[in-house]
A and B are shown apart, each in its own frame.
Chain A
Amino acid sequence: MMFGRLTVALSAAALLTLTACGGDPLEEEPSPDSDAGASSENDPTSDGTETSDGTEEKGALTISGQSFTEAVVMAEMYEQVLDGAGYDVTTKLVETRDVYVQQMSDGKVDVVPDYLAGMADYLNTLENGEDAEPITSNDAAASLEALKPLADAAGITMLEPSGATSQNAFFVTQDFAEENSVSTLSDLAEVGPVKLAAAPDCVGRDDCEKGLKEVYGIDITEVVPLGYGSAQTKDAVISGEVEVGQTGTTDGTLEAQELVLLEDDQGIQPAQNLVPAVNTEFLSDNPDVEEVLNELSATLTTEDLGQLNAQVDVERMEASEVAQTYLEDKGLI
C-alpha cells in the first residue's frame, strides 16, 4: 500500500522532470513546414509573425541583448526584420553584457543589438584589463575602427553603426535655455555657476562632471546625485533647484516636460551608436543578415528611438507593438 503510493509519487516527480526539460513552452517553435522550400515566394507584406515562417526557411537565429527598455525595443525590431527575412528567430534577453558576449563567442547567440562604445569598452577591458587605455571617443568611425580588431578576436563582426546614438546628455528647462540663450554646453559655460543633478558616479568622470569642468569650463558648484534621467533629476531641474540635469540622448520624455538637451559640441561623450553585433561564423553562413540589419540601422534616428522608448516607458505600450508599428511605418516589414 505505502510502497504503491510512494512509487506513484516518485515516478510522477520523475515524469515531471522529463517533460519539463523536454518542452519549452516559451520558445514558440513554429511547427516545421512539411514541404519546406516548396514555396519560396517572399511575401513582402507578411506581418512578420506567421506567414514568413512558412514562405522562406533560412534556419534558426538567436538574438540576445540586455533587458532595459531601449535594448528590448531594439531586440524586438531586430527580431521582426529578421523574421520577415525568413529566419526562425528566438530572442533571449539577459541582464548583463558579459553573459551574451560569451555566448556569442561560443556561437550560441547569433545577433545582438549593441552600443558602439559600450561594446568597445567592454571588450577592451576584457582583453587589456581594468586600467586599459580607452579606445573610444566621440568619433563613431574611429571608435568602430578601434573596436573591430577586438570584436574579430572574439569571433564577432560589427555591422554598420546606426546614426541613432544613445549617449549621456545634459538638459535644462526650455525657459532657462531661452533666457540665457544656450543651446550647447559651450554656451552653458558662459552663463556662470550652475548646479547639476546626475548619476551618483558623475563626479570625476570624463563624460560627466570632470569633462564638463575641464573641457567646457563649466563652473559646477554642486553635483546632486539624483540619478541618471530619473524623475527626481527632472523634478529638480523643473523646480529650479538645479539648473542642469543628466539623461540620455534617447530620452523621449523631455519635450513633454518642457526640457531641452544641450548639444555636446566639443564631444566629451563616447559614441554610443546602436550597432548590430553578429557572430562572424553565422554571418558568413547567412550573409543576407547584414543587409537586413544595416537597412534598419540606416533608417533609425536618435529621435525615433527616443519616441519608441517613450511609448514603452510612458504610454506603457508593449515593445513588440511599438517596434512593429515603427517598422511598418518605415516599410521595413
Chain B
Amino acid sequence: MTLLPGSAPRAAETPQCYIDNSWWCPPYWSDRQELLTDALVQHIWITIASVALGLVLAFPLALLARRFDRLETLVVGGTTIIYTIPSLALFSLLLPATGLSANTVIIGLALYSLTILVRSLLVGLRGVSDDVRESAVGNGYGMSRLLFTIELPLALPVIMAGLRVATVSTVALVTVGSIVSYGGLGNLLLQAVGNQFKAQILAASVLCVLLAIVLDLLLVVVQRMVTPWTRTGASV
C-alpha cells in the first residue's frame, strides 16, 4: 500500500506548463520518461520488423518480375494497388487473422513498403550493365553466384536508396498502428490529440521525426560500409 494520502496528491505541485497546456513543457519529458521510452522502443522495433519483412517479401517478387516480363506488370501494379488501400481497411482485413497484435501492423506496413522496395530492387538489378553480366557468365559464374556476387552488390546503391525511403515512410506509418493499439509513438499521439495535450503531441512528433532522421543516417552509414567502391579514393 502506498504511503500517499488519499486526496489529490499532486494538485499542488502540478507544473504550470500543464495548466497552461504549453507546447514546450520540460517537466513532461521527465514525468513521462518511461512512457516515452516504451513508445519509442515499440516504434523502433515495429519499424525495423516491418521493413525487414518487406525486404524479405520484395526480393523474390523483384526476381520474378525481372525473370518474367508478364509478371512485372502484375507485381509492380499489385504492390502499388496495395499501397492505395487505406490503412484502416488493411488492418481491418488482417485483424481476424492476426488479432490485436504487433503482427497486424508489421504485416500491413511490410505490404505498404513493397511498392518502394520492389521497384528499387528491380531498377537496381536492371541497372547492372550487360557487359558486366556477360563477363561474369564468361568467367563461369552460375545464376545464383552471378546474382549474389555481381548483380546485387552493383545494385546496392539503388536498393539502399529505396530502403531509406521505405524506412522513413514506415516510421511515419507506424503511428497509424494505434488503431489496433500497436502504434508506438502513435498511441501517445492519438490520446494527446484527443485531450489536446500539447506537450505530449510535441514530444511524440519530435521523437518520430528524430527517429526517421537517425534511421536514415544509419542506413547511409550501412550503405557506405557495404559499397566501399562508391567512395572516391577508396580502394577495395
- Do A and B come together as binding partners? yes
Residues of A within 8 A of B (CB): 1-3, 5-6, 9, 13-14, 16-17, 20-21, 24-26, 45, 47, 62, 64, 67-69, 72, 92-96, 99-100, 102-103, 106, 108-109, 231, 312-318, 321, 324-325, 328-329
Q: Is the beta-carbon distance between B191 and A2 smaller than 8 angstroms?
A: no
0/1 string, B211-236, CB within 8 A of A gives 1: 00000000000100110000000001
Besides the contacts A13-B55, A92-B181, A316-B28, what 8 more A-B pairs have beta carbons closer than 8 Å? A17-B49, A17-B56, A20-B48, A21-B106, A69-B191, A99-B95, A100-B100, A106-B99
Q: What are some 27 contacts across the A-B interface (CB < 8 A)?
A: A3-B148, A5-B225, A6-B148, A9-B226, A13-B52, A14-B52, A17-B52, A20-B45, A20-B48, A20-B49, A21-B106, A26-B38, A67-B190, A67-B194, A68-B194, A94-B100, A94-B178, A94-B180, A94-B181, A103-B95, A106-B99, A313-B195, A313-B197, A316-B197, A318-B32, A328-B6, A329-B6
Contact B226 A94 (CB under 8 A): no
Closest CB of chain A to B172's CB: distance in Å? 17
Taken residue by residue from 42 to 75, chain B's Cβ proximity to chain A (1 for < 8 Å, 0 otherwise) reads as 1001101100110110000000000000000000
Given A26-B41, A312-B195, A316-B197, A21–B103 Cβ distance below 8 Å?
Answer: yes
Contact status B38-A103, CB under 8 Å: no
Q: Mark B19-41, 1 if CB is under 8 A from A, else 0.
A: 10000000010011001001001
Bound CA–CA A64/B180 (angstroms): 10
Q: Are A47 and B2 in contact (CB under 8 A)?
A: yes
CB 8 Å contact bits of B145-168 with A (1 = contact, 0 = none): 000110011001000000000000
Query: How many chain B residues touch the partner (CB < 8 A)?
Result: 55
Q: Is the CB of A25 within 8 A of B99?
A: no
User: Does residue B179 face the partner (Cβ distance < 8 Å to A)?
Assistant: yes
- Across the interface, which residues of A come within 8 angstroms of B46, CB to CB? 20
Identify the stretch in B10-18, B76-84, B118-126 within 8 Å (CB) of chain A at 4 or more residues. B10-18
CB distance from B140 to the nearest CB of A (A): 16
| Complex-state Cα separation, A95 to B41, whole angstroms | 21
Q: Are B52 and A64 in contact (CB under 8 A)?
A: no
CB distance from B36 to the nearest CB of A (A): 12
Given A64-B181, A72-B191, A329-B7: A109 and B100 within 8 A (CB)? yes
Nearest Cβ in chain B — how far from A70, in angstroms?
A: 10
B96 contacts the other chain (Cβ, under 8 Å)? yes
Q: Which residues of B contact A17 (CB under 8 A)?
A: 49, 52-53, 56
Contact among B95, B106, B178, B197 for A67, CB-based, below 8 A: B178
Q: Which of B28, B48, B52, B190 has the most A CB atoms < 10 Å from its CB?
A: B52
**Among B2, B7, B56, contact of A13 (Cβ-Cβ < 8 Å):** B56
A325, B153: Cβ atoms closer than 8 Å: no
B187 to chain A, nearest CB (A): 7
B89 within 8 A of A: no
**In the complex, which residue of chain A has the Cβ closest to the Cβ of B181?**
A92
- Are A95 and B14 in contact, CB atoms less than 8 angstroms apart? no
Q: Which residue of B lies closest to A316 (CB)?
A: B18
Q: CB distance A6 to B226 under 8 Å?
A: yes
Which of B2, B42, B149 sits near A2, CB closer than 8 Å? B149
A314 to B236, CA, bound (A): 62
- Which of A2, A47, A72, A92 has a CB less than 8 Å from the CB of B100? A92
- Closest partner residue, chain A, to B35 (CB atom): A318
CB-based contact A3/B149 at 8 Å: yes
CA–CA, A315 and B2, complex, Å: 21
B4: interface (CB < 8 Å): yes
Q: With a CB–CB cut-off of 8 A, which chain A residues contact B180?
A: 92, 94, 99
Report Cα–Cα, A25/B40, bound state, in Å.
Answer: 11
Q: Which single member of A24, A62, A325 contacts B9 (CB below 8 Å)? A: A325
Residue of A nearest to B191 (CB): A67
Complex CA gap A312/B14 in Å reads: 11
